[in-house]
Chains A and B, each alone.
Chain A
Amino acid sequence: MQEIIKGHAPLIDALTPLCTGEKAIKHTTDLYGNGYHWFRLDQSSKIKDAARILKGYQARLIMISAYSVTDGPEECKELCYHFDVEGIIYNLTVTQNREWPIVPSITPEFANADWHEREIMELYNIKVTDHPNPKRLFLDEKLDAGLLASAVPLSVMMNGASSKDLWERILSEKEQQR
């Protein structure tokens, strides 16, 4: 018997044209039968269109997760936006250009995106365009964006003499600078 996953068909239909890539859409459930819908948008700029569509369904932004993809064909950053519509979760992923990570702000549509986007700017050095209040959230204005990502964890530094971790990190950073 085919499993029926809870979701809003018109909303899923509206988001589908924004995701034309192979395996760009998937639908999952958890152990309690709650529905999770995953959309990989074609371009970063499409998040603005997606946000407007979700706003029309009284969606609530729960969180924005930024992360680095290190095991793909080339290292890049991605953002995953998690929305809630009547208890069903819609996750929208956008991949960032490696050289110029940039994404439009959705704070005009979802006021609570403000802090998430400011955190992404300062911790991941991703540029968020048209943010209404692009001030630092946690880090002092004098510090460079993405500074914490360049720090070497104490454990890696202390084990640098005996393990390969520190040297491999230096090598990969040198590779990136070329």
Chain B
Amino acid sequence: MSISTYTMPLGPVHVALEEPVYFHLTVEGENIKNVELTSGHVHRGMERMAMQRTLVKNVTLTERVCSLCSNSHSFTYSMVVENALNLEIPERAKYLRVLAEEIKRIASHLFNLAIQVHIAGFKSFFMHVMEVREIMQDIKETVYGNRMNLAANCIGGVKCDVTDELLEYILKQMDVIEPQLEEIKDIFTNNHIILTRTNGLGILPPEDALALGVCGPTARGSGIVRDVRRDTPYAAYPDLEFDVITEPGCCVHSRAMVRVRELFESVKLIRQCCNKMPKGPVFNHMGKIPYNEAFAHTEAPRGEVAYYIRTNGTDKPARLKWRVPSYMNWKALGVMMRGCQIAEVALVLNSVDPCVSCTER
């Protein structure tokens, strides 16, 4: 370390999100030369807990790994158990799973975008995005009875059907939210404050994105065409039409624009689900639990969620392991923050939509 560089501690709280992660920034003047981080403050031993609970009870546990991606965890967990048990789910359940997932994706992306503009100092727009997000929160509360954890998934399908009246209500709300999303897109594309603060900031070149195995909007913001919904199709996605959104800019603004444009893809998917949903049962019963191992992965709002299970003939898993999108994206911050100024750290950090609690489990 030269005489002009020093290590600056940042955190463990109040860095973009009020979750504990501790950064060690090597800085030269205002410029960041190197980034290291210390985590482990909220390790909850959830994988160990999962091995002491039954397969059925773990649906509830896994939904609590993460708040914004909560549905993706119970979804992927149910899928991995179904793979291990060779349990098929009804057609209607496949559509209902996608419906819940895309509703959560819109709410999650809007939350991240709202925080992004809040950090950029654009408070009025932050309030507006949060207000638009309330439309999705209302849908969640009306359809599922909860604003965060939907408890929609179960092993073999979904817990509750969604009535035709509620599907009609969701379609109407999509008509309400879409023009407001257009407004948000327009502001993100053209607003001077946003462009000045985020365009060209926190560069992650495609070769680094590939080498570090980053996923979700973080990868797609560097032009990497990677989306589990398209690459390893599951649930009703193979029957639905949507585009994998990428942006070439590799910067904070690119990652935000991926999320903005994905909002419209999710609206498209929700409409297709409501219109094409077949009639029929919504879950199948579990059969005998064999000795087996299985893997499943899905595209959560923040990126790929992966689950691995080993079953041993009992109703408790011999091992349940999962990996969340943030786990892969943290290391990319070292590349993104190099050369940035200290004041820009929070913006760059938020651009990967980080989640500490799910990283540490």
Interface residues, chain A, with chain B CB atoms under 8 Å away:
30-32, 34, 36, 38, 60-63, 65-68, 70-71, 80, 82, 84, 86-89, 91, 110-112, 114-115, 136-140, 148, 153, 155
Q: Is A62 a contact partner of B318 (Cβ separation < 8 A)?
A: no
Given contact pairs A82-B306, A89-B232, enumerate 16 new A-B contacts (beta carbons under 8 Å): A31-B82, A36-B295, A60-B210, A62-B213, A62-B297, A63-B323, A67-B318, A80-B308, A82-B295, A87-B231, A91-B293, A91-B295, A111-B331, A139-B40, A140-B40, A148-B48
Q: Is B319 a contact partner of A67 (Cβ separation < 8 A)?
A: yes
The chain B residue with its CB closest to the CB of A156 is B52
Q: Complex: how many Å from CA A31 to CA B233?
A: 10
B234 within 8 A of A: yes
The chain A residue with its CB closest to the CB of B319 is A67
Q: Is B45 a contact partner of A31 (Cβ separation < 8 A)?
A: no
Q: Is A60 a contact partner of B213 (Cβ separation < 8 A)?
A: yes
Given A71-B312, A89-B295, A137 and B306 touching (CB < 8 A)? no
The chain A residue with its CB closest to the CB of B361 is A138
Q: Is B52 a contact partner of A111 (Cβ separation < 8 A)?
A: no
B212 within 8 A of A: yes
Point out the residues of chain A lying under 8 angstroms from B308, CB to CB: 63, 65, 80, 82
Q: Which label, helix, strand, loop or mixed, suits the secondary structure of the B interface? A: mixed
Q: Is B306 a contact partner of A71 (Cβ separation < 8 A)?
A: no
Q: List 5 A-B contacts (CB under 8 A).
A: A31-B82, A67-B318, A88-B232, A112-B213, A153-B52
Point out the residues of chain B lying under 8 angstroms from A67, CB to CB: 310, 318-319, 321
The listed residue (A34, A86, A112, A155) touching B233 by CB distance below 8 A is: A34
Interface size on B, residues (CB 8 A): 43
The chain A residue with its CB closest to the CB of B323 is A63
Q: Which label, helix, strand, loop or mixed, suits the secondary structure of the A interface? A: mixed
Q: Is B83 a contact partner of A111 (Cβ separation < 8 A)?
A: no
Q: Complex: how many Å from CA A14 to CA B294?
A: 23
Q: Is A111 a contact partner of B213 (Cβ separation < 8 A)?
A: yes
The 10 closest A-B pairs by CB, nearest first: A138-B40, A87-B231, A112-B213, A67-B319, A65-B321, A63-B323, A87-B232, A65-B308, A34-B232, A111-B211
The chain B residue with its CB closest to the CB of A59 is B213
- Distance of A27 from chain B, by nearest CB (Å): 13
B129 within 8 A of A: no
- Distance of B99 from chain A, by nearest CB (Å): 17
Point out the residues of chain A lying under 8 angstroms from B360, CB to CB: 138
- Distance of A131 from chain B, by nearest CB (Å): 14
- Distance of A58 from chain B, by nearest CB (Å): 8
Point out the residues of chain B lying under 8 angstroms from A82, CB to CB: 295, 306, 308
Q: Complex: how many Å from CA A137 to CA B89?
A: 38
Point out the residues of chain B lying under 8 angstroms from A91, CB to CB: 293, 295
Q: Is B319 a contact partner of A114 (Cβ separation < 8 A)?
A: no
Point out the residues of chain A lying under 8 angstroms from B295, CB to CB: 36, 82, 89, 91
Q: Is A31 a contact partner of B89 (Cβ separation < 8 A)?
A: yes
Given A30-B296, A86-B231, A87-B232, A115 and B331 touching (CB < 8 A)? yes
Point out the residues of chain B lying under 8 angstroms from A115, CB to CB: 327, 330-331
Q: Complex: how many Å from CA A82 to CA B233?
A: 17
B123 within 8 A of A: no
Q: Complex: how many Å from CA A91 to CA B321?
A: 14
B196 within 8 A of A: no
Q: Is B331 a contact partner of A112 (Cβ separation < 8 A)?
A: yes
The chain B residue with its CB closest to the CB of A38 is B293
- Distance of A99 from chain B, by nearest CB (Å): 22
- Please indicate which of the listed interface residues A89, A112, A139 has the most CB atoms of chain B within 10 Å of its own CB: A112
B101 within 8 A of A: no
- Distance of B110 from chain A, by nearest CB (Å): 28
B238 within 8 A of A: yes
The chain A residue with its CB closest to the CB of B312 is A71
Q: Complex: how many Å from CA A173 to CA B327?
A: 33
Point out the residues of chain B lying under 8 angstroms from A68, CB to CB: 319
321-355 of chain B: CB within 8 A of chain A: 321-323, 327-328, 330-331
B178 within 8 A of A: no
Point out the residues of chain B lying under 8 angstroms from A114, CB to CB: 331
Q: Complex: how many Å from CA A62 to CA B307?
A: 10
Q: Is B82 a contact partner of A71 (Cβ separation < 8 A)?
A: no
- Please indicate which of the listed interface residues A65, A87, A89 has the most CB atoms of chain B within 10 Å of its own CB: A65
The listed residue (A31, A136, A155) touching B88 by CB distance below 8 A is: A31
- Please indicate which of the listed interface residues A38, A87, A114 has the most CB atoms of chain B within 10 Å of its own CB: A87
The chain B residue with its CB closest to the CB of A61 is B213
- Please indicate which of the listed interface residues A62, A66, A86 has the most CB atoms of chain B within 10 Å of its own CB: A62
Q: Is B328 a contact partner of A112 (Cβ separation < 8 A)?
A: yes
The listed residue (A62, A140, A148) touching B304 by CB distance below 8 A is: A62
